[in-house]
Amino acid sequence: MKCSFFFFLCQIWSVKQDKCVYDFKEHTKEIYTIRWSPTGPGTNNPNQQLLLASASFDSSIKLWEVEQGHLLYSLAGHRQPVYSVAFSPDGEYLASGSLDQSLHIWSVKEGRILKTFRGSGGIFEVCWNKEGSKIAACFSNNTVCVMDFRM
């Protein structure tokens, strides 16, 4: 599968059939980034479903279940555009960074915010370490912050 995005629309295409399989039309403004979960067949987490996260200028994140093509959660916790999302290595958490200077950690299973970290600049990138114990965030004020994450 491949994914393409045009303004407010995310599409899942079948490479084998060269056709669009699903149109995800839930965002109300441009999609800025997408991320595949580290789950599903062929991953270290094969018993969890494959998900796609899309982050948008509409300040929301959508979690899509891609095998059946439906929206699992619309994550609304940011007040400004969301520029970055990253799944934890086990696929249980999603980190999101926004121009609102906040980094949220979401439960993928529950679709809710578990923790919030505030910075002093918009967040343009978030990333987990391979163990899933730390999260790095890149802020617009030329700061990179590494946070300890333990649940």
Instruction: Give 54-104 pLDDT, tens digit per residue.
Output: 998 999 999 988 788 789 999 999 999 999 999 999 999 999 999 999 999
Owner of token pair 């200028």: 57
Q: How far is CA 135 from CA 40, 42, 62, 97, 144, in A?
A: 23, 25, 21, 11, 10
What are the domain boundaries of the chain?
Answer: 32-148
Q: Name the percent of the chain lying above pLDDT 90.
A: 64
pLDDT at 16 over 80: no
pLDDT digits (tens, 9 = 90+) for 94-126: 999 999 999 999 999 999 999 999 998 999 999
Task: Return the exposure string of 9-43: e unless at least 16 CB atoms fall within 10 Å of the residue's CB, then b.
Answer: ebebeeeeeeeeebebeebeeebbbbbebbbbeee
- How many helices and strands, by DSSP H and E, does the chain display? 0, 14
pTM score of the predicted model = 0.84
CB neighbour class for 141 (10 Å; exposed up to 12, middle 13-18, buried from 19): exposed
Tell me the pLDDT band of 6, cut-offs 50, 70 and 90.
Answer: very low
What is d(CA 67, CA 61) in angstroms, rounded to the nearest whole number? 19
- For the chain, what's the residue count? 151
Q: What is the CATH number of domain 32-148?
A: 2.130.10.10
